[in-house]
Amino acid sequence: MTRPANTPRLTPYLTVSNARAALDFYRNAFGFAAGNVVDENGVPTHVEMHYQGELIVMFAPEGAWGSTARTPRSLGVECPQTFYVYCDDVDAMHAQAVAAGAVSLMEPADQFWGDRYCMVEDQDGYRWGFGKPVAANQEGKAS
């Protein structure tokens, strides 16, 4: 076995300003579920979050284990990457994320590449894109 069950071969590992706040945000904004959480004296120092039964992201707070890594927001820079997540309902995900405090960078819309897509920014400055193939949006609709 080269990796644990339900673990993709590539998983982003983020630096966050406050791991407890990030855990709550990702749960409320995106519907992610907490997996393994390493807690030291009441402060999460490593968090794994799952989406629809799969590991989707891991993170640790700034300064954990002597790291000098900082969030895009702490550094005052625009995040150079976007995490693209396929979901069941792009419009609902966008509304839920914005209601939980995410900043909308792109409203849900059908895109030229074939997905309905939106983009939001979280409290640490990371960009999250949510998509669903447009054809999948049409399934079950009468013509």
DSSP string, 5-52: TT--S---EEEES-HHHHHHHHHHHH--EEEEEEEETTEEEEEEEEET
Q: What is the CATH number of the domain that holds 77?
A: 3.10.180.10
Task: Report angle CA 57, 71, 101 to the nearest 5 degrees.
Answer: 70
pLDDT value of position 138: 66
Q: Is residue 80 part of a domain?
A: yes
Q: Is residue 2 part of a domain?
A: no
Q: Is residue 3 part of a domain?
A: no
Predicted TM-score (pTM) of this structure: 0.90
pLDDT value of position 8: 87
Q: How many CB atoms lie within 10 A of CB 46?
A: 17
Q: Is residue 51 part of a domain?
A: yes
pLDDT value of position 139: 60
Residue 24's Cβ-side half-sphere holds a number of Cα atoms within 13 Å equal to 8
Q: Is residue 5 part of a domain?
A: no
Q: Is residue 29 part of a domain?
A: yes
pLDDT in tens, the chain (143 residues): 678 877 888 999 999 999 999 999 999 999 999 999 999 888 899 999 999 999 999 999 999 989 999 999 999 999 999 999 999 999 999 999 999 999 999 999 999 999 999 999 999 999 999 999 998 666 655 43
Parent domain of 105: 13-138
pLDDT value of position 68: 96
The end-to-end CA distance of the chain, in Å, is: 47
Q: How many CB atoms lie within 10 A of CB 30?
A: 23
pLDDT value of position 137: 64
What would the two tokens of residue 132 be? Answer: 């669903």
Q: Is residue 17 part of a domain?
A: yes
pLDDT value of position 9: 87
Q: Is residue 117 part of a domain?
A: yes
Query: How many structural domains is the chain composed of?
Result: 1
Task: Report angle CA 68, 72, 73 to the nearest 5 degrees.
Answer: 105
